[in-house]
Structure 1
């Protein structure tokens, strides 16, 4: 009983881990389908995942592993769609208050091309996103206590910039003396 495996592939007690057999075309396809079904992904992220699995398990086929063809086929079938991934990821990150620059960096890292990334938000949308970030992080007019300390202002500005907001947008929100003044920036008052 000591050598039996748990359902997660780990040994129950002190035994050695079971070694998976090398991948073949069917196994590779099944891995790709399983990954695409579980996670919203891009073509590049799928290729990285499959390459990692090939490195871990090896390849049993006579020809090189058809990674590119498999990724192309899943994209053709609609299981992997960089534009849809970019739109979904952009909305989710904007809802968290992250700026366009940060969103663009994340999409680039995920392998989304410029054509699929979408357009930069207009000034009002950028202000609204930055305002949501300031509210969530309690920066500027949303802080519990208003501080005129230059170090505190610098720290808040740095947080806004790390979140991907433009310098002008971050300064405008942090300069607001009240929540109403900050919210008026969106309306353009």
Structure 2
């Protein structure tokens, strides 16, 4: 039997329905951790791809849009089901992501912005950041400082400047790191403390944060 040529379009899949969307959600969550909004967006993209393929196959655009209306209406219920299964948990996602981002050198402010952009509500973001980083006026200050040190290490500035760097290069890296840290959401005092720290203490603080 002759195989179809590669130029031939793939047969159009059936119109997405609740069952297919549920399968797509489960497959996605088996691979990725996601927020409620993240899963909603993924399912919406799944539907949008079908619409584009349908139109490319010759279906009228309005007809294609009407065909997927039931699927779009099913998204919220499917995501609620995923929450009921424990596969979607914005609070758990937020706390895990907050710890991961902080250990990667993100500031408290950028961690909160990252979570907010993923649809996590403000109260959940605040609680997750407090749980993961500690209170802003207490333990959280040391965690923020350690994150700033990770940031400085990536830029080979302050205590992490190359041993063979001369004074001019070290000063240039210091000033550039200060500017970059301000853009990344670190406070001026935190950035300066990180960049002025001795190497041994800096490495010790990073290690303690990552072991916590």
> How many Å separate the matches in 2 of 1:63 and 1:148?
62
1:179 is aligned to 2:199:
yes
Q: 1:113-145: per-residue Cα shift (whole Å, max 9, x none)?
A: 122222254111111121122223311121112
Residues 25 and 61 in structure 1, CA contact (< 8 A), matched pair in contact too: no
> How many Å separate the matches in 2 of 1:60 and 1:183?
55
Match of 1:135 among 141, 153, 158: 153
- The answer for the alignment partner of 1:9 in structure 2 is none
TM superposition score normalised by structure 2: 0.71
- TM superposition shift of 1:170: 0.6
- TM superposition shift of 1:33: 1.4
1:39 is aligned to 2:32:
yes
**Equivalent pairs, count:** 178
- The answer for the alignment partner of 2:57 in structure 1 is none
1:92 is aligned to 2:100:
yes
- The answer for the alignment partner of 1:19 in structure 2 is 12
Match of 2:50 among 28, 53, 57: 57
Q: Give ranges in structure 2 of 5+ residues lacking alignment.
A: 52-66, 135-139
Match of 1:108 among 116, 123, 127: 116
Q: 1:54-112: per-residue Cα shift (whole Å, max 9, x none)?
A: 22224457586211111112112211000111111111111212111111111011111
> How many Å separate the matches in 1 of 2:107 and 2:41?
27
Structure 1 residue matching 2:73: 3-state secondary structure: coil
CA RMSD of aligned residues (A): 2.8
Select the structure that is richer in helix. 2
Q: 1:15-67: per-residue Cα shift (whole Å, max 9, x none)?
A: 43443322012111111111122210000011111112122224457586211
Residues 100 and 126 in structure 1, CA contact (< 8 A), matched pair in contact too: yes
